[in-house]
């Protein structure tokens, strides 16, 4: 059976454990790294993807999941993010139904279990990538690199850059994708299990691998890249093709027949299956999501909006170097790297060009070794390491389409497999040349321990939004979104004075940050600083004319300033841009009530309750207005209707009791009053 030359275990000084115990150790350590996140809150993107996602609720038909994006919007919508992950959303829905609501513990526990499972599977994957693929006479796969595969799996299990995927619930998309990604690879390897003579393979297992790759893609888009990696593995390990020799021979037309011999053992047929399967999967996804790309803004990915091709290229490469640095030294970790966190490089005189040069110097060196080394084992490990590092990263590289982020730690989850391969190989080279291998092993053990502590600390920061957002202030002080989120968290806790400080800083860093302007304007409105609030909200709607919430808040301020006509116009503009806006109808009703336009007020509040039947304030205002205008029968009818929808609302019960008392229905009045008291 296909097998690599003598493996890395001969050179490294590391623990040798039986397969069962090795997997137990990896599972335990990976669990300890992230166990303290189990009782964390819903944080950051969890709110939109889970709490506000109607696809998790039982009233949404299961079939809708296949036509909605990750955030619950229709894929056909112009505002859709186009992130198509129905299987991930399905697991969230199951979590929600089993827990009977939005209780984060169950969500976190599943994420931790998934990471432990993936880390254990890594032992099998690394044993193949580092030690080769060989089966015993009984058809069992042999682990030819038990020590190096254990080390690589431990490196993967404890890497701090994985914290976002494990401790952040929306990171489950990456975890599920990685799980089926690895299963697809292992399934592809099983296609050669019965291949004693090296001339046959199992078509069934190749097809199973394609199906598992499709499932990985339905969890997250990166999953489709496993089909390309399976083809690379087939060529390098199963067929032992020397890429450099093949290229040289292809350049000589008189040796085409000899070149064709390289495509032996059904390689061409298997690659055709993989390519056909991948193309079919992508076509189906393209048809479901529509042909239009997602719409992103400049603050999401500034480099992609640069006019100059040079500026775009140089900044993309700088982003790659930062991703590489996060793998090498995962100390600077941040929940969001957009919105000014990384200023654009606009000139070759920028000192950050050094990072690009270092990245390409290392990459070119590794590629040269992967192509030109006389040691075939070295060639294959380096090529596989680079393949697993680069290919899963391609969807996030901006090369094929614009992505909605600058750097995202979650997208490095799969590429870190390649990093672990290269790290382990580098350790073996150093061990081979070092006189005191144990000292080198202690150093690597120290790296693992530091990573465990870093994982534990970082996962504790993901337990609450306050800790998560504040941790980013030192990493990305130029990121307006970081200051905005800190301010919003403080405002939600009632600390308005501190919130104002962070909102002002967010607006200073990004003078077009309309959401920060809107929230700051709201706080200033509540503090009766109406003129500055009006300035901010007017600027927000000037920058983004379809910002419905800012229009509504501007209307509230104008109403407070007794500029009623302008307030009415602002409310209707908000409703124009957001048809289903119950809160705006409620505020419009208050304006009409102040102007004694009672019929208009009642109609506005009725619209609010139609759009949001549990809108208690709108119901209550209708009851009070009808009561004050002497329409007691109507007020009673509205009160009873409201209590059928919101049965235990004390304010509604009190208003209805007041109406009943005026109508001399004292018995009913006392019954409701008693219910209020109990």
DSSP code, position 198: S
For the cut 60, the answer to whether the pLDDT of residue 246 exceeds it is: yes
How far is the CA of 317 from the CAs of 14, 47, 478, in angstroms? Answer: 36, 32, 21
Domain locations along the chain = 480-677
Better-scored residue on pLDDT, 202 or 139: 202
Contact 320, 397 (CB under 8 A): yes
- Look at the domain 480-677 and name its fold: 1.25.40
Instruction: State mean pLDDT over 163-182.
Output: 97
Predicted confidence (pLDDT) at residue 356 exceeds the cutoff of 50: yes
Residue 566 is predicted with a pLDDT of 95
DSSP per-residue letters across 131-177? H---B-TTSPBP-S-HHHHHHHHHHHHT-GGGHHHHHSGGGHHHHHH
What distance separates the 2 farthest-apart alpha carbons in the chain? Answer: 108
- Quick one: average pLDDT of 115-126? 97
Residue 674: its pLDDT value, please? Answer: 67
When the pLDDT of each residue in the chain is averaged and rounded to a whole number, the result is 89
In 3D space, the residue among 611, 610, 571, 566 whose CA is nearest the CA of residue 590 turns out to be 571
Lowest mean pLDDT: which of 210-224, 447-461, 631-645? Answer: 631-645
Residue 429 has pLDDT above 90, yes or no: no
223/332 Cα distance (integer angstroms) = 27
Q: What is the mean pLDDT of residues 139-156?
A: 89
The reported pLDDT for the residue numbered 237 is: 85
How confident is the model over 540-554, as pLDDT tens digits?
999 999 999 999 999
Task: Express each pLDDT in 550-583 by its tens digit.
Answer: 999 999 999 999 999 999 999 999 999 999 999 9
Which tokens belong to 392? 């899963």
Instruction: Give the per-residue pLDDT at 2.
Output: 44
Averaged pLDDT, 383-409: 91
pLDDT reported for residue 42: 94
pLDDT mean over 495-510:
95
CA atoms of 519 and 381, how far apart (whole Å): 53
Window from 117-121, 567-571, 597-601, 630-634 with minimum mean pLDDT: 630-634
Question: Contact at 8 Å (CB) between 68 and 75?
Answer: yes
pLDDT in tens, 288-340: 776 566 777 888 888 888 888 999 999 999 999 999 999 999 999 999 998 88
Structure tokens at 374: 């006389």
The per-residue pLDDT for 1 is 44
Checking if the pLDDT of 5 tops 80, the result is: no
The pLDDT, as a whole number, for residue 4 is: 41
Q: Is the pLDDT of residue 262 over 60?
A: no
Report pLDDT digits (tens) over 464-493: 999 999 999 999 999 999 999 999 999 999
Structure confidence by residue, pLDDT tens digits, 42-98: 999 999 999 999 999 988 999 889 989 899 888 877 777 788 999 999 999 999 999
Q: How far apart are CA 104 and CA 106, in angstroms?
A: 6
What pLDDT was estimated at residue 593?
93
């Amino acid at each position: 059976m296909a097998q690599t030359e003598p493996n890395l275990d001969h050179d490294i000084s590391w623990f040798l454990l039986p397969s069962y115990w090795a997997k137990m150790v990896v599972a335990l350590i990976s669990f300890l790294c992230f166990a303290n996140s189990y009782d964390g809150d819903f944080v950051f993107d969890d709110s939109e993807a889970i709490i506000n996602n109607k696809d998790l609720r039982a009233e949404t038909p299961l079939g809708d999941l296949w036509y909605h994006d990750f955030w619950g919007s229709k894929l056909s919508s112009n505002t859709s993010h186009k992130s198509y992950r129905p299987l991930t959303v399905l697991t969230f829905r199951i979590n929600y139904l089993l827990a009977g609501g939005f209780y984060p513990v169950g969500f976190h526990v599943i994420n931790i279990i998934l990471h432990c499972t993936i880390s254990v599977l890594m032992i099998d994957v690394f044993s193949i990538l580092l030690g080769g693929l060989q089966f015993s006479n009984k058809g069992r796969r042999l682990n030819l690199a038990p020590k190096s595969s254990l080390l690589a799996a431990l490196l993967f299990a404890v890497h701090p850059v994985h914290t976002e995927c494990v401790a952040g619930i929306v990171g489950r998309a990456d975890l599920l994708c990685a799980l089926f990604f690895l299963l697809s690879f292992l399934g592809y390897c099983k296609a050669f299990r019965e291949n004693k003579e090296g001339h046959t393979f199992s078509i069934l297992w190749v097809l199973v691998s394609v199906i598992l790759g499709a499932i990985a893609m339905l969890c997250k888009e990166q999953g489709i890249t496993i089909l390309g990696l399976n083809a690379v593995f087939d060529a390098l390990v199963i067929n032992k093709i020397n890429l450099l020799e093949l290229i040289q021979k292809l350049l000589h037309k008189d040796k085409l027949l000899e070149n064709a011999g390289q495509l032996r053992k059904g390689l061409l047929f298997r690659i055709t299956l993989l390519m056909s399967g991948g193309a079919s999967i992508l076509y189906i996804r393209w048809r479901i999501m529509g042909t239009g790309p997602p719409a992103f803004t400049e603050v999401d990915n500034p480099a992609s909006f640069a006019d100059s091709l040079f500026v775009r290229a140089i900044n993309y490469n700088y982003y790659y170097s930062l991703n590489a640095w996060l793998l090498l030294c995962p100390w600077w970790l941040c929940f969001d790297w957009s919105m000014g966190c990384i200023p654009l490089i606009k000139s070759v005189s920028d000192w950050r060009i050094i990072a690009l040069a270092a990245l390409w110097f290392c990459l070119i060196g590794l590629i040269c070794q992967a192509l030109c080394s006389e040691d075939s084992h070295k060639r294959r490990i380096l090529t596989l390491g680079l393949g697993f590092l680069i290919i899963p990263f391609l969807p996030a590289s901006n090369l094929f389409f614009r992505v909605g982020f600058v750097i995202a730690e979650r997208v490095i989850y799969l590429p870190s497999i390649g990093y672990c391969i290269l790290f382990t190989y580098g350790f073996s080279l150093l061990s081979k040349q070092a006189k005191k291998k144990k000292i080198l092993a202690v150093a690597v053990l120290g790296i693992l321990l530091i990573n465990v502590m870093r994982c534990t600390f970082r996962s504790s920061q993901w337990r609450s939004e306050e800790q998560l957002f504040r941790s980013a202030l030192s990493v990305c002080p130029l990121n307006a979104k970081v200051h905005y989120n800190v301010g919003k968290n403080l405002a939600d806790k009632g600390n308005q004075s501190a919130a104002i400080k962070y909102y002002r800083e967010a607006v200073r860093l990004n003078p077009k940050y309309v959401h920060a302007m809107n929230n700051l304007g709201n706080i200033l409105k509540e503090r009766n600083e109406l003129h500055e609030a009006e300035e901010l909200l007017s600027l927000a709607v000037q920058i983004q004319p379809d910002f419905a919430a800012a229009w509504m808040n501007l209307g509230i301020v104008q109403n407070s300033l007794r500029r009623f006509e302008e307030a009415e116009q602002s409310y209707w503009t908000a409703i124009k841009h957001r048809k289903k806006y119950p809160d705006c109808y409620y505020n419009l009703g208050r304006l009409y009530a102040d102007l004694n336009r009672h019929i208009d007020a009642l109609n506005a509040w009725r619209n609010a309750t139609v759009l949001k039947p549990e809108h208690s304030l709108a119901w209550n205002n209708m009851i009070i207005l009808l009561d004050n205008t002497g329409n007691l029968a109507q007020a009673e009818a509205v009160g009873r209707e409201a209590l059928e929808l919101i049965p235990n609302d004390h304010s509604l019960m009190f208003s209805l009791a007041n109406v009943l008392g005026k109508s001399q229905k004292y018995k009913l009045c006392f019954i409701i009053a008693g219910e209020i008291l109990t």
